[in-house]
Structure 1
Amino acid sequence: MFATQRQRGWYAVVAALSASVLVLSACSSSDEGGDSNDGTPDAKPAAEGGPYGKFTGQDLTLSRWAGDPWTAGQKAAADEWSKQTGGTLSLDAVPYENLHDKQALTLGGAADYDIVYVHPSWFGEFAEAGYLAPIDDYLSDAKRNPPGFSADSYLSNVLAQGKYDGKQYCLPDFVSTVVVGYRTDLFSQAGIPAPKNTDDVLAAAAKLNGKDGVAGIVMPGKATGAVADVFGSLLTAQGNWWYGPDGKKSTMDVKAATKAMDFYTEAAKSAPTGLLNMAVDDAATVAAQGKAAIVVDTTPALSALEDSAKSTTAGKWAYVPLTVGSGKPGGELIYWNWCIAANSSNKSAAYSFLQYYTDTAQQAKVAIAAGTLGATKDFYQDENVTSKLPFLPAVNSALENSNPQPSVASWPSIQNTIETTIQKAVQGQTSDDQAVKDIQEALEALGSS
């Protein structure tokens, strides 16, 4: 499961919170107030590739969402950070539906958090409220970072999502997007060349559909967030997006949206029964079991295709970014931000962990284990990662022309309308043209509220 599948009900009553704290090493006391516990932030790493700084006796708390497969990687990194720096890092893991409210309540009150895992939907809200600390000075300080490391080490389009009002507040990870996977063996047997655009994808899906019990294509169809992600990626590949820079006025182009809608309804004709009940993991499972010739899905889910323990088709896939016609490849940028709480008294130590964890080496470990991707440029050149996650070149191409998930407050409601409307079009309950009109009305009505 990935982040956008959890964008439901995050205004739950705070009193219902059920937080679980995972303590990663022995705890010690922490100071309150400003950045009073500076430690020795420019101390060289105790081991090659390790974190910078010595922060003996500093006790940090990290706020994140609970119940996901990436906890183990963060726990291992936090253990190693604690061992090498002398600090202590604990994880306050909260169910996603309660995370926003718990973070807002805590950041606006006592200094209980040092590091905050912030979803794009509420990053702007927290930055505007003054809950987050800018990190420009940390990023530009050569003594706090590995040689050659700076803001330029990250993919610029991804790093920019952690910037607000001209200041950098966060470092990104959990990067993913939507790409196309296709069975090289089935394409070769049928004499079909590698698909170059969505027209090729649809033609190949129709030709291969039903042969030896294999569906032509599979993709998410359940209204859990991924349908809007695929649709948004198709808009991006046409140089269009849901909203303008202000995040309020709808800029969805009817022609581009109709092309995206046509892709969904045409693809559904070559998809397996039950498409509208398939989330990202379900679609990937169908592909991994050899029941589809093409899959359009998010990259964390696609990692299962290359896992021989889960997939009977491992090693038989090749990947291309979504491209419409002769346009540029494109995709929706899915990510999370690592930020430092403005009222933390351990900001230098917090930055030390952020830099260490979001750099290539640690992100590569998490990527191989869980299928999420890093945000540094070097990450996409790492041969070990690419060999295990061969969709990386397609992702890198898509991210060069990407739009981040909308962060308007009304997006969860709009997203649901978009997805249920696409489902109606797939079922033939409404025409593609009418479905696009309905989506446009929802964007204009709710986007201005």
Structure 2
Amino acid sequence: MTRLAALMACTALSATAAQAETTLNALFMAQAAYSEDDIRAMTASFQEANPEITVNLEFVPYEGLHDKTVLSMGSGGGYDVVLFDVIWPAEYAGNDVLVDVTDKITDEMKAGILPGAWTTVDYDGASYGMPWILDTKYLFYNKEMLAEAGVEPPATWEELAAAAKAVKEAGIVEYPIAWSWAQAEAAVCDYTTLLSAFGGSFIEDGAPAFQSGGGLSALEYMTASMEDGLSNPNSKEFLEEDVRAVFQNGDAAFALNWTYMYNLANASEDSSVKGKVGVVAAPGVMGVSEHSAVNGSMGLGITSTSEHPGEAWEYIVHMTSQPVQNEYARLSLPIWASSYTDPAVTEGQEELIAAAEKGLAVMYPRPMTPQYQEMSMALQQGLQEALLGMASPAEALEGAAENSGL
């Protein structure tokens, strides 16, 4: 081989090596839905099939996910793949945070994924990623406690209050209900569930509408449950993991929480309520609704600053694929319609699947508006003021409406 040929061969090998060293940076949340171990295992299987791609994973609490994504856009390095909430596509689309991947969505994806899941990533006629977590909040209950109190799982929110009162009066547990009512997005999710049950609206004709009608009834229900001693007073400081801890320790008869709590509380060795956990779709209100639910779904998208959008899309397709979702369906249910008749998914969690069939069908959206962050912050503050007794529900919601940015 001539010196020139050798040089060319070395150059070719160097180019191949460079191609084999693509690194993706991916941002996920460190709570609810899939566990960190699940995400690492999913990623490992992708890397095994694609040895030329390395994926660096970063986990942050949900509360830091939005700001971490937005701030990274001007940092030069940033992320290639980010997890995003159903409430952010409007803002992200307007600020060029995510890549429009509409032309990458295949007919198989469109036909196979549950219609409601697409609301997670779609805005103004375009798709900004793939749905990944299809989730809503369910009403969990302790079967043993309800049997001891002689009550059935409630079908309405009024029945929940009555059942909680029976549990309390029987001396089974001091505060029968646990909620995620800290001044955070978690409280807005619980409030949305109740607002949907009472037939409320967030926005009408471009103006806030939650301060009256079903929106007001929802907050009045929340404050009444506190005043009546039915809800754990520390709910005002609880996030979802706090609710799981209280329920899993046997200190609550009822809890509103996401899908992931079912198997963690019902099957984990460290759970004191193992085998006693029941779950139903969140209740409705007599004459208004049969069930209630909040759309708490999340998607995976490619940032507009990614230098490897092709590889990032390959990774997203893997993470959202039906085989991967079916394999890790214990903490988050699949986005694929046919998965719900697959024994690998349903076995051992038939009760959860039954609740999901009702809850996922009525998921109520938080407002899809570019001003959502401002609106949510105002609403979080208003909810907290009412729960702390600093203002009446009507006063608190009027203040939130005035500060909503709408």
Counterpart of 2:49 (choices 84, 97, 103) is 84
Same amino acid, percent of matched pairs: 19
Q: For 2:380 and 2:387, how far apart are their aligned partners in 1? A: 11
Structure 1 residue 361 corresponds to structure 2 residue 323: yes
Tell me the SS of whatever aligns to 2:285: coil
Tell me the SS of whatever aligns to 2:220: helix
1:445 — aligned with what?
403
1:20 — aligned with what?
none
1:392 — aligned with what?
353
2:26 — aligned with what?
63
Q: For 1:439 and 1:317, how far apart are their aligned partners in 2? A: 35
Q: For 1:360 and 1:231, how far apart are their aligned partners in 2? A: 32
Tell me the SS of whatever aligns to 1:372: coil
TM-score between both structures, scaled by the size of structure 2: 0.81
Decide whether the 8 Å contact of 2:379 with 2:400 is kept in 1.
Answer: no
TM-score between both structures, scaled by the size of structure 1: 0.74
1:137 — aligned with what?
103
2:113 — aligned with what?
154
* Matched AA of 1:391: L
Decide whether the 8 Å contact of 1:241 with 1:403 is kept in 2.
Answer: no
1:181 — aligned with what?
140
* Matched AA of 2:24: T
2:295 — aligned with what?
333
* Matched AA of 2:377: S
Q: For residues 308 and 263 of structure 1, do their structure 2 counterparts lie closer, same or farther at Cα, with a shift above 3 Å needed?
A: same
Off by >6 Å, runs of 4+ in structure 1: none
Give unmatched runs, 5+ long, in structure 2. 1-15
Structure 1 residue 280 corresponds to structure 2 residue 240: yes
Give how far 1:328 is off. Answer: 3.4
**Per-residue CA distance 1:209-251 (angstroms, 9 max, x = gap):** 143442433323433332321111111123333235x8x5212
Tell me the SS of whatever aligns to 1:409: helix
| Structure 1 segment 191-230 matched on structure 2, within 5 A | 191-215=150-174, 216-230=176-190
**Per-residue CA distance 1:72-92 (angstroms, 9 max, x = gap):** 222222221122134313225
Q: For residues 270 and 126 of structure 1, do their structure 2 counterparts lie closer, same or farther at Cα, with a shift above 3 Å needed?
A: closer
Tell me the SS of whatever aligns to 1:172: strand
Q: How many residues align?
A: 379
* Matched AA of 1:230: D
Q: For residues 341 and 308 of structure 1, do their structure 2 counterparts lie closer, same or farther at Cα, with a shift above 3 Å needed?
A: closer
Q: For residues 374 and 440 of structure 1, do their structure 2 counterparts lie closer, same or farther at Cα, with a shift above 3 Å needed?
A: farther
Structure 1 residue 421 corresponds to structure 2 residue 385: yes
Structure 1 residue 172 corresponds to structure 2 residue 161: no
Counterpart of 1:237 (choices 191, 197, 202) is 197
Give unmatched runs, 5+ long, in structure 1. 1-26, 31-56, 142-148
Decide whether the 8 Å contact of 1:176 with 1:300 is kept in 2.
Answer: no
RMSD: 3.1
2:39 — aligned with what?
74
Give how far 1:200 is off. Answer: 1.1
* Matched AA of 2:117: V
